[in-house]
Homo-oligomer: A and B are copies of this chain.
């Protein structure tokens, strides 16, 4: 669907050989400074040519009066000049051989006429020269693999398996922040803005074949080319999950959306039906979109909706069971074989049942012995495991406050705890790898663990797995993944499951 010519032009967005920055500035309060500054900060290794007729040097780089005046080849240009100057500037860039233009400038289609006419003229110029355009009225894009962050926020998210295409710049940043808090980075991310040229469907087609992208997240407010989009989604979704969060579902939201990107939000029910047919997974909130994406990227797909729950405290099991029922999952009753095996592992006061409550029995079996029983007895499609990574929190507190510090050398005790924690966490990751079944590990301290580099949890994350911050986020992801798999199997002959997560990507920078 995406013509080969356009595909190669899209490569010039994410893998440019040289970038011209039209509207570069030395004024710290202009986007022409801030975005250029972020571009340099990110560490992009190709040449950057600031264009500004009034300056000689910008941020230590020689400036040029025009794109035409740059004495080297250029395949990407970024524009922060006023809207009315954009069409001729695009034409000039086109003549220079630029393949991709990133138009940050606002003041076009989102204002209605005459902005729409200006926008159409801009697109016409681009197409005349075979250029593709990102924007206008977006905040830019990022491709960590190429160390490229030409956008508004001073924020350099790490590389990871998730692509994010967003109709809003701020929301792009927010979703990436939520992803970062669960340990996931991004393969490519674009703020589409008004999407005057490149549309959501074009990005989908491109990402379908992108080897760095295993899951795609979209934030949309409305669609100009609905048919193209859904047809692209239908092609992509069997290969890579497409997670969509859409704003403007209510009248108040739609009103707000109209003034934001000038796009009319469609009637939500029609839209929902089309999403279902195209195999799109819908998320209700930005946080949920990030969590679904990380879940798809970070753990195997469950084969169905049968859940086993393992918990270090009964109350958490009760909450999880409630959440499962609310999400349409089945908390299975354990068969006699599973109960028998568990009874031998757990304290005498254990009450057989699912959730499997480990009843705070110090010295008895823990999740690493109990989870294999649940996996092996074949009664569950996935296990929700609550409570993880205590050791580091404990160690931090001990090092700061323990009375033992005065009585004894704490080093061996702490080293032992951390070693056990690390082994334990790696064993949980091994269990998933071996069984191919998903383990929904929940730890409210996961963001803490990432922030502080807690070893055991970081091991799991470094191996590409996911730890969920809340019970509900895990349960909802379980349900969404099971439903995705069911729909995929309905729609096609069973094909190979997406591979287990590639190691060592999630936390890479």
Contacts and interface: CB of A to CB of B under 8 A. Distances in A.
Given A331-B252, A407-B60, A260 B314 contact: yes
A355 interface: yes
Interface in A153-185: 153-156, 166-171, 174, 177-178, 181
A349 B106 contact: yes
A477 interface: no
B362 A29 contact: yes
A318 B59 contact: no
Nearest to A473: B287
Nearest to A445: B177
B403 A314 contact: no
A448 interface: yes
A248 B174 contact: no
Interface stretch (A8-16, A37-45, A127-135): A37-45
A315 B166 contact: yes
Nearest to A248: B318
Interface in A342-392: 349, 351, 353-355, 357, 359-360, 362-363, 386-387, 390
Interface string A393-407: 110011001111011
A315 B168 contact: yes
Contact of A403 (B40, B170, B390, B413): B40
Interface string A459-501: 0000000000011100000000000000000000000000000
Contacts of A42: 401
A219 interface: yes
Interface string A219-255: 1010000000000000000000000000111111101
Contacts of A326: 250
A471 B41 CA distance: 30
Interface of A: 28-31, 37, 40-43, 59-60, 106-107, 111, 139, 152-156, 166-171, 174, 177-178, 181, 219, 221, 247-253, 255-257, 259-261, 285-287, 309, 311-319, 321-326, 331, 349, 351, 353-355, 357, 359-360, 362-363, 386-387, 390, 393-394, 397-398, 401-404, 406-407, 413, 444-445, 447-448, 451-452, 470-472
